[in-house]
Structure 1
Amino acid sequence: MDGVLLLRSVATAMVRLSEVGDPGTATLPYPDEAQRALNNTVLTCLLLKARPPESLPELVEWAAHRPVDRWPVRLPPDVVPPESLLLDEATRQPTQLCYEWAVDAEDSAARHSEQRYMAIASRRCREEDYPEAYRAFRLLLVRRPVLTHRELTTLPAAVDGDLGSLGDLLYDVYQPAPAGYLDWERRSYTSCARCHTLLHPMAGGALWCEQRRCRDLGTVRRGREYQADDDGGVQLLLRPLRQWVSAPGVLEMRLARQLTGIGADVELWPGFGAYGMRVRCPDGTTLAVDHKDWASPALLGRRAAPPPPDPPYDRCVWVMPAARLRDHPDFRATFERYRSSASPELMTDRELLRTARQLIGTVDPDHRYADTARDGEAMEGLF
C-alpha cells in the first residue's frame, strides 16, 4: 500500500479511537477505521518483508513509541518531520501531526477538522446578516475551551443574544470532558493557566498540556480547577476545534493588538471567517492573514492556496510560529517544495510585524515586538 495512504489510514484510526476512549485500551470489535488501518499496515509490512504489528494494541504502541520516519513504509522525502509520533507517549492521545494526517484524508476531513462546525456557523450568520454573532461565537471558542454545564446552558442569555441562532450549536461543539482528564483522587479537572484547556494528569502528580507552545515554556501552570460534579459537570471543546480554531485564535488576537498598535486597521475573522485577519494599512494595502501552526511543512504546503477573494485583499500571508522554524530549519524549503500555489506568503510573526511597519512607514530596527500578554512572555516563541 502507498505509504501516504497508509499513514492517512492509521492517523484516522488513532483519532477515531481517541473519540471513543483511550487508544491504548482498544478492545474487540475494533472500529471500522481501526480494523482497516491494522489490515493495511500488516499487508504493507508483509509486502516489504518487515515484521507487522500482531494486533491493534501493538499498532497503538507503534504510534506512541515508533517515530513515523522509522515505520516500514515508503514515504516521499520530508513528508514527516524526523522523530515525530502519531500518539503522545504519556497520554496516548493523538498528536497534532496525527490530526494533520487525518485531515489530509479526503474521506475524513469533515469529521476530523473544524470545517463542518465553522461552516454551519458561517452559513447561519451569513443568512441572518449577523457578523457580530459569528465573531462572538469565535471569541467564545478562543477564550473558553472549557465550560461547566451550567455555563453552557446559560451562556446565550449571558451574552445578550450576541450568539444569535448559534446557541444550539454549542451543544455539538462542547462535549462532556473525557475521563482521561479527571484527577480521580480529587474528583476534579484542572485547566492550563496559559491556553485554558484541560490538563492531563500523569504519574507522580504531574500535568501535561496538549498545546506545544505551553510545553515549550517549561513547567505547566495550573489554572482554574473544576469539580467533576459541580454545575452539572465539565464540558470540553472538541479537540479539532481546540487545535484549528482556539489555538490560532489566541495568536490572531495578539497579533491584532500588535498591528493596531503600530497603526494598522485590523478586522478579525472577516467575511464570516473567510480568513483570520484583514489588515489594512494607511497606504491602502490590505493583507489577508491566517495563523498556521503545522507540524508537517509538506502537508501545509499541499494545502497552500489563497483564501476567498471576498473580503478583498492585496496580499495573502500565512503566519508560522518562529519556534516551528527554529525546530525545523528546513521548514520553508519543504513547504515550498510541496506547495502548488504561489500564494500565500509564509512569514513568522516578527516578519509580519516588520512588513506591516514597512507598509505603514514606521520601521524601527531596534523594535523587539515584545508581546503585551500576561506574564511578560515574548510573542515570538510562545506560538
Structure 2
Amino acid sequence: MQPDRAARAPSWSELEGIRLLRGVATALVRLGDSYGTESLSHPYPTEAQQALDATVLACLLLKADPPESLPDLIQWAADLPVEAWPFALPADALRSGSQLLDRGTRQPTQLCYEWAVDGERSAALSEQPFMAAAARRCREEDYPEAYQAFRRLLIRRPVLTDRDLVTLPGAHLGDLEPLRDLLRDIYQPVPASYIHPGRGVCTACARCGTLLHPTTKGGMWCERQICQKRDSVRAGREYRTDHDGGINLLIRPLRQWVSAPGIQELRLARRLTKAGADVELWPDYGAYGMRVLLADGTAWAVEHKDWTTPALLGRRAVPPRSGPPHDRCVWVVPASRLSEQPNFRATFERYRQGASPHLVTDSELALAVREASGSVSSGARSDAPVTRSPDDESKGALF
C-alpha cells in the first residue's frame, strides 16, 4: 500500500524525519546483507522491526496510511522516491527521485548506504573497523608495502576464488601475508542473489569488476551508480560458482567505501602525476587518501569521495588526525557530481563544520597541479575552488 500524503501534521519536525530515514535505511541494509530483501523470514532482525514500528507510528501521527508489514515497507522503498514518503525532510537532505532500494533487484542503493552509515551505530556498516585492523597489523609488522598491496587488492579484485585466497599472499611476494586471516573475513561466499537462475554462474561488471545482480526483468544491475549512469551496464567476466573451489565477494562496506572510490582515486593519482605532482597514495597506513606534493613545494592532503548526498558528506568532512604534514586539506568529488547537482558544493559547505576540508572537483585539482607546475597560466583558470565565506560559518546544520 502506498502512503497517503495529503495531510502532514505541522508538529512533525524534519529532525524526526531524518531519524526515521536513518532507521529505515539501516534496516534495509541489514536485511540486504543478512537475509536479502527479496526473501524475508520471521523473526525479523531487530533493526527491521524497529524501523517498521517507527514508520507506522509516524504515519499514524501524520494521518497517513501506514505500511501493513515489513514486505509492504520494502515495497515503499523500492517503488517510491524518498520525497514521496509521508514524513518531512530538509529540502537539501537528498536529491529528488532518490530511492532506498533498486526497483529491479530490491538491493540497497548507494543513497541507502549513505543514510545508514550516518546513523549513531553504523560502525559495522562502514569500512573503518576492517581498514583499521589492516593498518594495525601492517604497522605492527612495520610493513607499509603490505597495506599498499591490500588497498590495491580491494580496488582491483572485488571477486576472489577460494584458490586466490590461499595463493595471493605468497603471490604478492609476502606483502599480504600479515593479512591472510583478514582476507578470509572480508571475502565471503557469493550470495545466491548474484547467481543466474538455472545457469550457476555469476557475472562481473566490465567497468568496476564487482558482481552484477540479475534483475526481475532479465537485465543486469550494478550497485555502483557511476556504472549505472553509462548507456547500459556492461557484462564482463563470468564465474562458475564452483570455479577454483568457489567464488567469494568482498563484503559490501568495503566495496562501497574502499573499492568504488578507489577506482577513481587511482585514476586521479595518475592524472595528477601526469600533471606534474608527486603523489603518495594512502600515506602512514591510510591516514588519508593521498599526499600531493606540488611543484611549488606545497603539499595537499587529498581524500577522494563520491557521494550522492552532499549534506551527509559535508557532515563527515574532518581533517586528517595523523599522517605526513600538509599545507592544505581538500576533499575531491568527480566533476560530474556538480554537473548533475548544481547545488552540491553549496550544500556540502553549508553542512561542514569549522576548519574541515573544502570541496573541489577532480578537474579543479588537476588544474591547480598544472598551474603549480607552470603548464597553465593562472589567468586561464576558470573553475577555481570556492572558499567558504565568513557568513557560511554562522549557518547551522539541521542534522
* Global fold match (TM > 0.5): yes
Q: Which among 224, 236, 256 is matched to residue 223 of structure 1? A: 236
**Aligned counterparts of 1:250 and 1:89: Cα–Cα separation in 2:** 26
Alignment partner, residue 169 of structure 1: 182
**Aligned counterparts of 2:164 and 2:75: Cα–Cα separation in 1:** 38
Q: How does 1:235-254 map to 2 (within 5 A)?
A: 235-254=248-267
What do the CA deviations read for 1:109-144 (whole angstroms, capped 9, x no partner)?
211011110010011112222111000000000000
Q: How does 1:1-383 map to 2 (within 5 A)?
A: 2-107=16-121, 109-203=122-216, 205-363=218-376
Specify the code of the residue in structure 2 equivalent to 1:56: L
* 1:99 partner SS: helix
- The answer to whether the 8 Å contact 1:25/1:57 transfers is no
- The answer to whether the 8 Å contact 1:285/1:359 transfers is no
* 1:50 partner SS: coil
Alignment partner, residue 376 of structure 1: none
What do the CA deviations read for 1:7-54 (whole angstroms, capped 9, x no partner)?
111011000000123213222211111000000111111111111101
Specify the code of the residue in structure 2 equivalent to 1:10: V
Specify the code of the residue in structure 2 equivalent to 1:95: T
TM-score by length of 1: 0.92
Specify the code of the residue in structure 1 equivalent to 2:69: S
Q: Which moved more, 1:71-80 or 1:235-244?
A: 71-80
**Aligned counterparts of 1:163 and 1:321: Cα–Cα separation in 2:** 31
- The answer to whether the 8 Å contact 2:288/2:323 transfers is no
Q: Which moved more, 1:224-233 or 1:55-64?
A: 224-233
* 1:8 partner SS: helix
* 2:258 partner SS: helix
Give the CA deviation at 1:63.
Answer: 0.9
* 1:94 partner SS: coil
**Aligned counterparts of 1:57 and 1:13: Cα–Cα separation in 2:** 12
The runs of 4+ residues in structure 1 deviating greater than 4 Å are 364-367
- The answer to whether the 8 Å contact 1:148/1:233 transfers is yes
Give the CA deviation at 1:256.
Answer: 1.1
**Aligned counterparts of 2:17 and 2:227: Cα–Cα separation in 1:** 32
Give the CA deviation at 1:366.
Answer: 9.0
**Aligned counterparts of 1:184 and 1:59: Cα–Cα separation in 2:** 26
- The answer to whether the 8 Å contact 2:277/2:293 transfers is yes
Specify the code of the residue in structure 1 equivalent to 2:324: P
**Aligned counterparts of 2:184 and 2:255: Cα–Cα separation in 1:** 15
Specify the code of the residue in structure 1 equivalent to 2:17: G
Instruction: Provide closer, same or farther for how the CA distance between residues 7 and 203 of structure 1 changes in structure 2, counting only shifts above 3 A.
Output: closer
Alignment partner, residue 393 of structure 2: none
* 2:38 partner SS: helix
- The answer to whether the 8 Å contact 1:305/1:341 transfers is no
Alignment partner, residue 375 of structure 1: none
**CA-based RMSD:** 1.6
Alignment partner, residue 388 of structure 2: none
- The answer to whether the 8 Å contact 2:330/2:359 transfers is yes
**Aligned counterparts of 1:327 and 1:60: Cα–Cα separation in 2:** 28
- The answer to whether the 8 Å contact 1:288/1:316 transfers is yes
**Aligned counterparts of 1:78 and 1:100: Cα–Cα separation in 2:** 15
Give the CA deviation at 1:220.
Answer: 2.1
**Aligned counterparts of 2:208 and 2:302: Cα–Cα separation in 1:** 22
* 2:193 partner SS: helix
Instruction: Provide closer, same or farther for how the CA distance between residues 226 and 366 of structure 1 changes in structure 2, counting only shifts above 3 A.
Output: farther
Give the CA deviation at 1:261.
Answer: 1.2
Give the CA deviation at 1:229.
Answer: 1.3
* 2:280 partner SS: strand
Q: Which moved more, 1:336-345 or 1:180-189?
A: 336-345
- The answer to whether the 8 Å contact 2:195/2:202 transfers is yes
- The answer to whether the 8 Å contact 2:204/2:236 transfers is yes
**Aligned counterparts of 2:354 and 2:78: Cα–Cα separation in 1:** 34
**Aligned counterparts of 2:127 and 2:100: Cα–Cα separation in 1:** 19
Give the CA deviation at 1:211.
Answer: 1.1
**Aligned counterparts of 1:285 and 1:179: Cα–Cα separation in 2:** 50
**Aligned counterparts of 2:322 and 2:367: Cα–Cα separation in 1:** 24
Specify the code of the residue in structure 2 equivalent to 1:29: P
Give the CA deviation at 1:283.
Answer: 1.6
What do the CA deviations read for 1:62-94 (whole angstroms, capped 9, x no partner)?
111111112111222311211111111111111
* Structure 1 segments unaligned to the other structure (5+ residues): 368-383
Specify the code of the residue in structure 2 equivalent to 1:102: A
- Structure 1 vs Structure 2: percent identity of aligned residues? 62
**Aligned counterparts of 1:9 and 1:352: Cα–Cα separation in 2:** 36
